[in-house]
C-alpha cells in the first residue's frame, strides 16, 4: 500500500491539477511555438485605444503636462517625482530622484543644493537625463538635454513659496557631504532657526536648474509587452516625432 503524506499530496495537486506556474509557462511556450491547441490573439494597442496619445504635431511639453495631470489624480504621492541622471568626470553616471517643480516653454525645473554631488556633475558636464515613471498609469517619459542653473529671481520665488521648515532645511543641509551624526544636523537646524526666526533668505548654495530637452520619449504600456513609444527630437527649433518599436 502506498502512503502519501500531506506535503506530497499537496504538491501533486498543485503541479498536476492546478497547474504549477512553471509547468504552465512551459505549456504556454509550447503552444505558442506549435500553435496547435490554442490560438493566441496578440492584441496590439493602437491609436484608437489611446486617443490622447496621438502626438503628431504636438508640443511634447503639452503631453508632459497632460500626463502629469493624470498622474496627479492617480499616484499615491509625488506625481512630479523624477529620476535625474548626471555624469561624473570619470564617465560614471549617477541617478537620484528629485521633484519637478515647474517648467517654461523649453525646459523643466527642479531645485537642489548647489554643492551636492549632482550639482557638481550637472555643472561639470552641462548635461542630464530624466525619467518619470507612473506605476498607476503604466507610463514613462524620458528626457535628455542640456542643463543650466535657473536665474536667481526664479529660484528666489520658489524658495520663498516653501514652508519655513524646508527653507531652514535648505540652510542646514550640506547635501551629499558626510554627516557625523543626526544631532549635528539638528544643531544646525536650531542655529539657522535662531539666525532667521522668520523670512530666511535663500541660501547662496541652494537653487534651481532647468533641463532643456532635445529629446523627449513617451512610453505607454501595451499588452504582451508590445508597448507604444514616441520619440520627439528637436531639430532646427522644431519638434519631430517618430514611433519606435517597443
Ligand atoms: C521622492 C523624492 C523627492 C526628492 N526630491 C528632491 C529634490 O527636489 N531636490 C533634491 O535635491 N533632492 C531630492 N530628493 C533627494 C535626492 O534623491 C538625493 O538623495 C539628494 O538630492 C542627494 O543627491 P546627490 O548626492 O546625488 O546630489 C528626493 C528624493 C525622493 C525620494
Domain ranges of the chain: 1-40, 60-244
User: 164 has which bridge partners?
Assistant: none
Buried b (16+ CB within 10 A) or exposed e, 93-111: eeeeebebbbeeeebbbbb
Indicate which atom in ligand 1 lies nearest the CA of residue 96. 17
Determine the Cα–Cα distance for residues 214 and 242; give it in Å rounded to an integer.
14
Nearest CA to ligand 1 atom 1: 81
Query: 148 Cβ partners below 8 Å, 6+ apart?
Result: 126, 209, 210, 212
| Distance from residue 214's CA to the centre of ligand 1 (Å) | 24
CATH says 60-244 is which class? mainly beta
| CA dihedral (172, 174, 175, 176) positive or negative | negative
Any atom of ligand 1 within 6 Å of the Cβ of 99:
yes
Low-confidence ranges of the chain (pLDDT < 50): 1-4, 8-35, 51-52
Burial class (CB in 10 A: 0-12, 13-18, 19+), 178: exposed
CA-based end-to-end distance of the chain = 57
Residue nearest to atom 12 of ligand 1 (CA): 98
The CB of 175 under 6 Å from ligand 1? The reply is yes
φ, ψ dihedrals at 78, nearest 5°: 40, 60
Question: Is 144 a pocket residue for ligand 1 (Cβ < 6 Å)?
Answer: no
CA distance 56 to 51: 12
Question: What confidence score (pLDDT) does residue 13 get?
Answer: 37
Is any atom of ligand 1 closer than 6 Å to the C-beta of 112? yes
Q: Whose CA is nearest to atom 31 of ligand 1?
A: 97
110 close to 99: Cβ distance less than 8 angstroms:
yes
Amino acid at each position: 500500500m502506498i502512503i502519501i503524506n500531506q506535503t506530497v499530496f499537496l504538491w501533486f495537486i498543485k503541479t498536476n491539477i492546478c497547474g504549477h506556474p512553471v509547468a504552465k509557462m512551459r505549456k504556454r511556450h509550447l503552444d505558442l511555438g506549435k500553435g496547435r491547441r490554442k490560438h493566441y490573439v496578440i492584441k496590439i494597442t493602437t491609436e484608437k485605444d489611446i486617443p490622447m496619445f496621438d502626438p503628431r504635431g504636438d508640443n511634447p511639453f503639452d503631453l508632459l503636462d497632460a500626463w502629469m495631470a493624470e498622474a496627479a489624480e492617480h499616484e499615491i504621492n509625488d506625481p512630479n517625482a523624477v529620476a535625474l541622471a548626471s555624469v561624473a568626470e570619470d564617465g560614471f553616471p549617477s541617478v537620484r530622484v528629485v521633484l519637478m517643480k515647474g517648467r517654461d516653454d523649453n525646459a523643466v525645473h527642479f531645485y537642489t543644493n548647489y554643492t551636492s554631488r549632482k550639482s557638481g556633475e550637472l555643472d561639470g558636464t552641462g548635461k542630464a537625463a530624466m525619467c518619470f515613471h507612473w506605476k498607476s498609469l503604466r507610463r514613462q517619459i524620458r528626457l535628455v538635454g542640456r542643463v543650466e542653473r535657473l536665474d536667481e529671481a526664479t529660484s528666489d520665488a520658489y524658495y520663498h513659496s516653501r514652508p519655513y521648515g524646508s527653507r531652514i532645511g535648505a540652510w542646514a543641509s550640506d547635501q551629499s557631504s558626510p554627516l557625523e551624526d543626526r544631532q549635528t544636523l539638528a544643531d544646525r537646524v536650531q542655529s539657522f532657526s535662531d539666525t532667521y526666526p522668520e523670512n530666511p533668505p535663500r541660501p547662496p548654495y541652494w537653487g534651481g536648474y532647468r533641463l532643456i530637452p532635445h529629446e523627449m520619449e513617451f512610453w505607454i504600456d501595451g499588452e504582451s509587452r508590445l508597448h507604444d513609444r514616441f520619440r520627439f527630437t528637436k531639430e532646427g527649433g522644431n519638434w519631430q516625432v517618430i514611433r519606435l518599436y517597443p
